[in-house]
Amino acid sequence: MGFLIALVGMMLAVLFCTWVVRHSGCVKRNKVKSWLLNKYTGVRVANQMMKMRPLGASVLLRFMYVPSWLKNYGLAVLDVPIKELLIAGLASSTLYCAAFCYIGSTIDELANVISGKTTSGSAGNNVKIAVMVGSVVLTVLVLVGFGVRIRRYVKEEEKKLEEENSSELSKFPV
């Protein structure tokens, strides 16, 4: 039940942020987008990726381990079609909700084992502690590792875009 509530909440956040940025008039989307594209090369690369492969790029960026509000508002500012934005939000929200619900469900048991509130002996408690701590650490490492790989991919795409831009600029005499 917690998983479903968290998933619905995350999807409502995606919808709300998209509505605020694109339709409410509270945010001057074009000005913010222009400023971001001029100031940050990484955002330029992300926007370029959105134009070429909107669903793939949206999914990659949604899986980055950065705050959800940044992904929600940031992707709403960029040129991401709404359908791809929602599919990417659903995909990443499903993974994160499952991981966080799993961590949340094991933390209480881990606390009980550490405090000795279980019926098994101390040897059994040590095994439980090792398994539970290991699973929580592994879950966090997978999430962080996924984010690192995505950042690396974005940086590679950024270098390719810069090389393409510099090679096209060199064609024109100064």
Give domain limits for the chain: 2-169
Report the C-alpha dihedral over residues 41, 36, 83, 153, rounded to 10 degrees. Answer: 20
- What is the model's pTM? 0.60
pLDDT tens for 11-28 read 998 899 888 888 877 778
Q: Over 80: is that where the pLDDT of 138 sits?
A: no
pLDDT of residue 126: 66
- Distances in Å between the alpha carbon of 51 and those of 45, 55, 58, 79, 81? 10, 10, 10, 7, 9
- Distances in Å between the alpha carbon of 61 and those of 47, 83, 110? 11, 15, 32
pLDDT tens for 70-115 read 888 888 888 888 898 889 889 888 887 887 787 777 777 767 766 7
Contacts of 71 (CB under 8 A, 6+ apart): 61, 62, 64, 92
Between CA 142 and CA 148 the distance in angstroms is 10
| The token pair that represents 86 in the structure block | 């929602």
Calculate what percentage of the chain has a pLDDT beyond 90: 1
